[in-house]
Amino acid sequence: MNVELIFEKSDSGQNNYKLPEWKGPSSSIIPPGYIRTGINLPDCSEPAVVRHYNNLSKMNFGVDNGMYPLGSCTMKYNPKINERISGKKIYSSIHPFAGEESSQGVLRILFEFSEYLCRITGLGGFTLSPAAGSHGELTGVMVIKKYFESIGEKRSTILIPDSAHGTNPASVAMCGFNVKEVPSNSDGDVDFNKFMEMLDKDVAGMMLTCPNTLGLFDRNIIKIAEALHKNGSLFYGDGANLNALVGRVRFRDVGFDLMHINLHKTFSTPHGGGGPGSGPLGAADHLVKFLPVTIVIKDGERFGIDSDRPDSIGRVHSFYGNFSICLRAYIYIRMLGCDGLKDISDTAVLNANYLMSQLKNIFNLPINRKCMHEFILNDKGLPNGITTNDISKRILDYGFHSPTVYFPLLIHGAIMIEPTETESYESLQRFIDVMKTIRKECDAEPEKILGAPHNTPVKRVDTVLAAKKPVLKWGD
Ligand SMILES: *Cc1c(COP(=O)(O)O)cnc(C)c1O
């Protein structure tokens, strides 16, 4: 396929529709000296530009094109009505400085939305400020730090299982804590005995991804929470992937003191392409006072910003966070109601277990137990030197996005599949059929796999070269 840049299409002699010659004043409104010269802008006709960008847009793949089983990322379908409503002028053109009096409706949405998240998790309060899951983590670890300062204790370690999301140790290290990795047992749960050996008075807390990156609900979770609390440590839950558990588990009851949620995974708001996302952070009652500023409160019938937060860690985002993302999630929750939210997790878990049951006899399944919203296969036992990378490229040829590969690091050659709750039985079945076909090709026609992809606009790229010598700018 021709992937010429628009610069390469530049040709001032192109034929196109013509406007009458401009007869007005010729002086520019830009003062002399401010006009940049020597910029090599492409010179194309209007149809050339329209075709160029339309064709580029068709080379993209998204949930609106087909199934996108990218484990850990929850690439589910976002109802278009969220977009329609949040795009309305009454929401999109409000100004953050409009003042409380004229922003009552917006403040009410933010207040009620926080209340919903409290109800879903059982936690005491939420901040809507964090702009991503990892930003929620960072905010949460700042709260942990502030909590220990407030009680005059110095603790410097946070425990993180090896099945945690990669952002967890990064957030912890950014806040100046030491990370200690807790190993998993062969079932994919935290190795409880090892955990107990590591738990001492220097441990400020533990950050547990739930479900973990193996797609599993840790069966030791209650015991872990009790041991942490007995030790005076805090328990942080990474709830980015709440679509496995929403409406089914109240996380405060499990023992989490802090927890973030990714709206751009669980609550059907857009992600990818650089966001914006949103990762609200919830805290148990005794930690709510440390949450960032800009918490909306209700006083009688009025809504306003809580201005009395002397213990707060401060500001982590301008104004109210990513309001339009919160609005989409609010609409989604209002649309589904309590029963609808439970349906999300039921269907996400059912879809994943169905796929796993159909694929486990075709590809190797390293951990064979009931999964949550995702599960992991790997390339063990594949013939002809075929690896996970080859399988993932061949999947593209059949019109699906690839699953997440080589993550988590815990499983060699991982293929991490998350169908999400918005895929129908028919599309799951199509994916199963494709995976069966690919497995047959591994034996009978390995060249098809090793040379894949064949049907995509860009064929197999040299990933090493791309990583070592990235071309980030045209003309270099
Ligand atoms: C996606 C994810 C994150 C990070 O969220 P971002 O919004 O990408 O920063 C953290 N933890 C888990 C378990 C995730 O799946």
Looking at CATH, the fold of the domain delimited by 338-460 is given as Aspartate Aminotransferase, domain 1 (3.90.1150)
Going by CA atoms, what residue is nearest to atom 14 of ligand 1? Answer: 240
Q: State which ligand 1 atom lies nearest to the alpha carbon of 271.
A: 7
pLDDT band at 28 (very low <50, low <70, confident <90, very high): low
Domain ranges of the chain: 81-336, 338-460
Report how far apart, in Å, the C-alpha atoms of 109 and of each of 132, 327, 330, 339 are.
20, 7, 7, 21
For residue 241, give the ligand 1 atom closest to its CA. Answer: 15
**Complete DSSP assignment for 101-146:** GGGHHHHHHHHHHHHHHHHHH--SEEE---SSHHHHHHHHHHHHHH
- CA 203 to ligand 1 centroid distance, Å: 23
- pLDDT tens digits, one per residue of 305-344: 998 999 999 999 999 999 999 999 999 999 999 999 999 9
In this structure, of 225-229, 422-426, 455-459, the range with the lowest mean pLDDT score is 455-459
Which atom of ligand 1 approaches the CA of 167 most closely?
10
How far, in Å, is the centroid of ligand 1 from the Cα of 269? 14
Integer Cα distance of 242 and 373 in angstroms: 9
Query: What pLDDT was estimated at residue 474?
Result: 63
Ligand 1 nearest atom to the CA of residue 239, by list position: 13
Nearest CA to ligand 1 atom 6: 133
Per residue in 128-145, pLDDT (tens digit) is 999 999 999 999 999 999
- What atom in ligand 1 is closest to the CA of residue 265? 1
Residue 74 contacts residue 418 (beta carbons within 8 Å): yes
* Distance of CA 323 from the midpoint of ligand 1 (Å): 19
The answer to whether residue 1 scores a pLDDT higher than 60 is: no
Q: What are the angstrom distances between the C-alpha of 80 and each of 69, 87, 214, 223, 332?
A: 20, 11, 31, 42, 10
Tell me which of 134, 251, 416 to substitute to probe ligand 1's pocket, judged by most ligand atoms within 8 Å of the beta carbon: 134
Structure tokens at 327: 């609005």
What is the pLDDT confidence band of residue 238, given thresholds at 50, 70 and 90? very high
Report the SS3 class of residue 236. Answer: strand
Whole-number Å distance, alpha carbon 225 to ligand 1 midpoint, is 22
Alpha-carbon distance 313 to 142, whole Å?
Answer: 7
DSSP 76: P
Q: Give the Å distance between the CA of 113 and the centre of ligand 1.
A: 21
The average pLDDT across 446-465 equals 92
Judged on CB neighbours under 10 Å (0-12, 13-18, 19+), 15 is exposed
**18 has pLDDT over 80:** no
171 pLDDT band (50/70/90 cuts)?
A: very high
Minimum CA distance residue for ligand 1 atom 15: 72
DSSP-assigned letter for residue 405: E
Q: What gap in Å lies between CA 183 and CA 190, rounded to an integer?
A: 6
Q: What is the mean pLDDT of residues 452-474?
A: 88
Cα→Cα distances 233→37, 158, 207, 241, 411, Å: 61, 9, 11, 24, 30
Atom from ligand 1 closest to the CA of residue 132 = 7
Q: How far is it, in rounded angstroms, from Cα 384 to Cα 152?
A: 61
Contact 412, 378 (CB under 8 A): yes
| pLDDT digit string, tens, across residues 361-397 | 999 999 999 999 999 999 999 999 999 999 999 999 9
Give me ligand 1 centre to Cα 102, in Å: 35
123, 259 contact by CB (below 8 A): yes
Q: Which of 192, 187, 185, 216 is nearest to 206 (CA)?
A: 192
For a mutational test of ligand 1's pocket, the pick from 138, 139, 165, i.e. the residue with the most ligand atoms closer than 8 A to its C-beta, is 165
* Residue located via tokens 């929620």: 136
Query: What pLDDT was estimated at residue 37?
Result: 78
The residue to mutate among 262, 263, 271, 317, having the most atoms of ligand 1 within 8 angstroms of its beta carbon, is: 262
Cα(305) to centroid of ligand 1, in Å? 28
Asked if residue 471 has pLDDT above 90, the reply is: no
Mean pLDDT along residues 34-61: 85
pTM to 2 decimals?
A: 0.90
Tokens found for residue 307: 């201005």
What does the alpha-carbon distance between residue 431 and residue 428 come to, in Å, rounded to a whole number? 5
Distance from residue 163's CA to the centre of ligand 1 (Å) = 13
Task: Give the dihedral sign, CA 260/266/270/273.
Answer: positive
| Helix (H), strand (E) at residue 395 | helix 388-397
Of all protein residues, the one whose alpha carbon is nearest to atom 2 of ligand 1 is 240
Residues whose beta carbon lies within 6 Å of some atom of ligand 1: 72, 132-134, 165, 167, 209, 238, 240-241, 262, 277, 279
Distance of CA 18 to the CA centre of its chain: 47
Max Cα separation, the chain?
A: 84
> Separation of 137 CA from ligand 1 center, angstroms?
9
Q: Which CATH class is domain 81-336?
A: alpha beta
Amino acid at 89: K
| Cα of 240 from ligand 1 centre, angstroms | 6
- Tell me the CB-side half-sphere exposure of residue 391, using CA atoms within 13 A: 32
Distance 185 CA to ligand 1 centre (A): 23
User: Are 178 and 158 spatial neighbours (Cβ–Cβ below 8 Å)?
Assistant: yes
